């Protein structure tokens, strides 16, 4: 059976205030995926509010001023969809997937929670305990600890080296007012990308997004500051556990350098798969370790997913 060619058109538009909307029209899709990408992560935080990006990600699902967290949870389950979010060092993402006929619900829900947060001081205190438990969980996980110390060594005295979750001290001290001020500072039209994939109309999505996010402030997000301190060559953390966890890392080319593609190939050859040199030598030949892998620079893979700070033509379309 021959599958007919399907034209999947990708379009990207910049709306007033710098808000960007990206869609891919897939006429064969029976579901729709919606994402809201915000150009803020823990690298944009000061020490006193370290972890604010992640804290805010949690709190936005507590509901908006017009719908509760239970309304959101029951609504997404009722249509057979899923809804989630995550925070990285350089961006925060909210995403939903629903049947195509329920696009309105998925899109409206994400835009509502992002643009119109309704969390209370009581909910902040309750979620604070959840995040403190998350920090304790990470501290009890040796591979989390070793990678966090690698980041601290690569970017000393810079927020890129900090834990995305923040610290026990900063999370304990952050107030509801701090979180609201953080939202106002970073959740701006020019700092957002809305992405929708499915059997959708680009112009219709643009109009709906523009209208729903009309209340967000215009203006660019604050400028980021690059690391300046030299790397720490060695860090050793001693623990009374059964295994040793070892990481090596170094600063490489930035995410716009043409050599990033060659770097990705080299990473795959060295330790990125079962046939890589490290895996074959360390595990298959010598049996010295169960797990051997390369994270592609720890930060670069995440940053390459979607650049929120620079216009770039997309395959099959362009910036309008």
Of 39, 46, 135, 123, the C-alpha closest to 87 is 39
Q: Is 134 a catalytic residue?
A: no
Burial class (CB in 10 A: 0-12, 13-18, 19+), 227: middle
User: 9-212 domain in CATH 3.40.250.10?
Assistant: no
pLDDT band at 111 (very low <50, low <70, confident <90, very high): very high
pLDDT band at 305 (very low <50, low <70, confident <90, very high): very low
User: Hey, which bits of the chain come out as E strands?
Assistant: 9-14, 20-25, 31-38, 82-87, 92-99, 192-198
Q: How far is CA 231 from CA 123, 148, 225, 279, in A?
A: 39, 14, 16, 27
Cα separation, 220 vs 191, in Å, equals 6
pLDDT band at 219 (very low <50, low <70, confident <90, very high): confident
Of 16, 18, 15, the C-alpha closest to 220 is 18
pLDDT band at 5 (very low <50, low <70, confident <90, very high): low
Return the pLDDT at 3: 52
Q: Which two tokens stand for residue 230?
A: 């030299």
Q: What is the pLDDT of residues 143-154, one digit of tens each?
A: 899 999 999 999
Q: Of the listed 57, 90, 127, 163, which one is catalytic? A: 57
Pairing of strands 31-38, 192-198: antiparallel
Residue 101 has pLDDT above 90, yes or no: yes
Residue 309 has pLDDT above 50, yes or no: no
Of 242, 95, 243, 113, the C-alpha closest to 183 is 113
Cα separation, 317 vs 320, in Å, equals 9
Rounded to 5°, the CA angle 171-70-210 comes to 80
Domain ranges of the chain: 9-212, 260-305
Cα separation, 201 vs 205, in Å, equals 6
Cα separation, 24 vs 317, in Å, equals 9
Residue 250 has pLDDT above 70, yes or no: yes
Average pLDDT over residues 50-68: 94
Cα separation, 47 vs 158, in Å, equals 10
């Amino acid at each position: 059976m021959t599958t007919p060619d399907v034209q999947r058109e990708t379009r990207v538009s910049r709306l007033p205030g710098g808000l960007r909307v990206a869609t891919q029209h897939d006429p064969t899709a029976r579901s729709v995926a919606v994402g809201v990408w915000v150009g803020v992560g823990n690298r944009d935080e000061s020490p006193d509010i370290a972890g604010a990006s992640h804290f805010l990600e949690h709190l936005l699902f507590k509901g908006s001023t017009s719908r509760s967290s239970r309304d959101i949870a029951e609504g997404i389950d009722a249509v057979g969809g899923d809804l989630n979010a995550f925070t990285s060092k350089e961006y925060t993402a909210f995403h939903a997937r629903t049947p195509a006929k329920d696009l309105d619900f998925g899109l409206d829900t994400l835009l509502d929670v992002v643009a119109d947060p309704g969390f209370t001081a009581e909910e902040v205190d309750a979620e604070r305990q959840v995040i403190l438990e998350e920090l304790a969980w990470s501290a009890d996980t040796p591979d989390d600890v070793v990678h966090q110390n690698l980041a601290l060594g690569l970017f000393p005295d810079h927020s890129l080296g900090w834990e995305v979750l923040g610290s026990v001290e900063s999370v304990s001290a952050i107030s509801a007012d701090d979180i609201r001020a953080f939202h106002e500072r970073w959740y701006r039209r020019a700092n957002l990308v809305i992405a929708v994939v499915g059997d959708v109309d680009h112009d219709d999505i643009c109009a709906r997004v523009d209208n729903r996010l009309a209340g967000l402030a215009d203006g660019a997000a604050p400028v980021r500051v690059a690391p300046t301190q030299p790397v720490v060559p060695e860090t050793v953390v001693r623990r009374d556990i059964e295994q040793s966890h070892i990481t090596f890392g170094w600063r490489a080319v930035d995410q716009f350098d043409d050599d990033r593609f060659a770097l990705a190939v080299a990473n795959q050859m060295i330790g990125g798969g079962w046939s890589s040199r490290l895996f074959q030598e360390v595990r298959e030949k010598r049996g010295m370790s169960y797990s051997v892998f390369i994270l592609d620079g720890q930060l670069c893979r995440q940053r390459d997913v979607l650049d929120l700070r620079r216009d770039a033509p997309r395959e099959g379309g362009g910036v309008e």
